[in-house]
Amino acid sequence: MIAAPAGRYLGASAAVLALAFLLWGLAILPRSPATLALLSAGALGFAALFVFFRDPERTPRGTIVSAADGKVRAVDRDANSLRISVFMNVTDVHVNRFPLDGTVDRIDDLGKGFRPAYEEDARHNVRRHYHLTTALGSVEVIQMTGIVARRLVSYVAPGHAGRVGERLGMIALGSRVDVLFPVGRVEPLVAVGDRVRAGETPIARGLP
């Protein structure tokens, strides 16, 4: 499956690439090594985009799962929340998912700048906050931009009731997703350096 809204772009790219190969095969384009090299580079670029925009089906293995594919970069607490932060590189699936059942209360676009997403200061970057009302209380899912990743895509709007593992949105070309839980309501099940899969890997369990 291909992530929305990439399907139309990949379809158009595939059509252009197929036409170029057809013209080359009919000798309308020069049958030179340079032309073949350009066509091959185009095919490799298309394959890379196809892999980047993949959106596999996922089955949650718990009631609180990762919102993003990638590596856990932080598990920490402050006075109000427990934060689990996941860094996505360019080879990870970039579709983000609901970490637990919840209703989207509001969506806020905040921040400025495009610092490296793996740095702590990136929490001030351009970012999108999804405020969820859940059985645990208020939970935030934060999509953050980075140096290269500057496009945030939302699949939901305020009022949407999402289920754990359901698609929430995506970030183009890597970056990071933080999930903030109410302090004292969950216990983390992951540690810094762990690999996680969006909509599948349990990252926390609820406390009584």
18-30: pLDDT as tens digits: 877 788 788 888 8
Amino acid at 171: I
Q: Are 37 and 52 in contact (CB under 8 A)?
A: no
Give the C-alpha separation, 101 to 126, whole Å: 26
**Of 119, 130, 117, which is closest to residue 179 (Cα–Cα)?**
130
Q: Residue 173 in 3-state DSSP?
A: coil
Q: pLDDT (tens digit, 9 = 90+) per residue, 65-100?
A: 999 999 999 999 999 999 999 999 888 998 999 999
| Alpha-carbon distances of 84 from 6, 52, 99, 153, 155, rounded to whole Å | 28, 24, 11, 21, 22
State the catalytic residues. Answer: 175
| Alpha-carbon distances of 149 from 101, 135, 174, rounded to whole Å | 27, 32, 6
Q: pLDDT (tens digit, 9 = 90+) per residue, 45-54?
A: 667 666 667 8
Give the C-alpha separation, 196 to 208, whole Å: 25
- Tokens matching residue 146: 């980075």
**Of 97, 62, 89, which is closest to residue 188 (Cα–Cα)?**
62
Look at the block and give the residue holding tokens 């990638």: 70
Give the C-alpha separation, 176 to 196, whole Å: 13
**Of 156, 163, 166, which is closest to residue 198 (Cα–Cα)?**
166
Average pLDDT of 37-51?
A: 74
Q: What pLDDT score was predicted for residue 48?
A: 65
CATH number of the 70-206 domain? 2.70.70
Q: Are 155 and 166 in contact (CB under 8 A)?
A: no
Residue 66's DSSP bridge partners are none
Which residues are CB-contacts of 156 (< 8 A; sequence separation ≥ 6)?
A: 104, 107, 130, 162, 168, 169
- Min mean pLDDT across 3-17, 36-50, 185-199 is at 3-17
pTM: 0.82
